[in-house]
Amino acid sequence: MNRIDKKKVSFLICFIFGLFLAFIIIQYNSIKFDFSNVKTIEVGNDYNVGATFFNRDVSSQVEKSGSINNQVVGKYVIEYSYTTFMNLTKSETIEVEVVDKEAPAITLIGNSKLTLPLGSKYIEQGYNVSDNYTKSVSVEITGDIDTNKVGTYYKTYTAEDSSGNKSSVKRTIEIVG
């Protein structure tokens, strides 16, 4: 083999290696993960990670390391990976936060507006409260009533869950003479 042939062979080997390397880089960069609906999820909601390879949906083939308990507020670290037909794997790690942004539901028992005669006794009718996450929701009742004085009084019922979400309802009590 003469000197020119060795240069051609070396060039051809480098060219083929370069093409192979370019193909690997293109293949790797063609794996795309879609975390847009996952980074923060509401407690109790499901989540899905999307993935494409050369714009073809491969979401069902994504491997997951770690887990998210969507019933418990907190932060979870998950690694997602996809392996191509050439055994090339691309992985991404994200932190998923499960949050509770839903306020408790509070409803009054009885009427929201009461009319009482002057000098009568006010009897609290109560309320019902529920929450999507917190089992025992705290309720604060504020407002004073003077049944010996004609006027309009208000009781405010404020429910707060363990995530700090609040809601309130108001009862109007009118004392008439």
For residue 79, CA distances in Å to 67, 91, 95, 119 come to 9, 7, 9, 68
The percent of residues in the chain predicted with pLDDT above 90, rounded, is 60
Q: State how far the Cα of 88 lies from the Cα of 33, in Å rounded to an integer.
A: 15
Strands 74-83 and 166-176: unpaired
Q: What is the pLDDT of residue 37?
A: 67
Q: List the chain domain ranges.
A: 3-99, 105-176
- Please classify residue 69 by burial: count the beta carbons closer than 10 Å to its beta carbon, then call 0-12 exposed, 13-18 middle and 19+ buried: exposed
What CATH code would you report for 105-176?
A: 2.60.40.10
* H or E, element range at 11: helix 3-29
Give mean pLDDT, residues 16-28.
80
Find residue 172's DSSP bridge partners. 113, 154
Question: Does this chain's domain 3-99 share its CATH topology with 105-176?
Answer: yes
Q: What is the pLDDT of residue 171?
A: 98
Query: Taking all residues of the chain, what is their mean pLDDT, rounded to a whole number?
Result: 90
Q: What is the pLDDT of residue 135?
A: 92
What CATH code would you report for 3-99?
A: 2.60.40.10
What are 157-168's pLDDT values in tens digits? 999 999 999 999
The structure tokens listed for 152 are 């309009």
What are 40-55's pLDDT values in tens digits? 899 999 888 889 988 8
Q: What is the pLDDT of residue 81?
A: 94
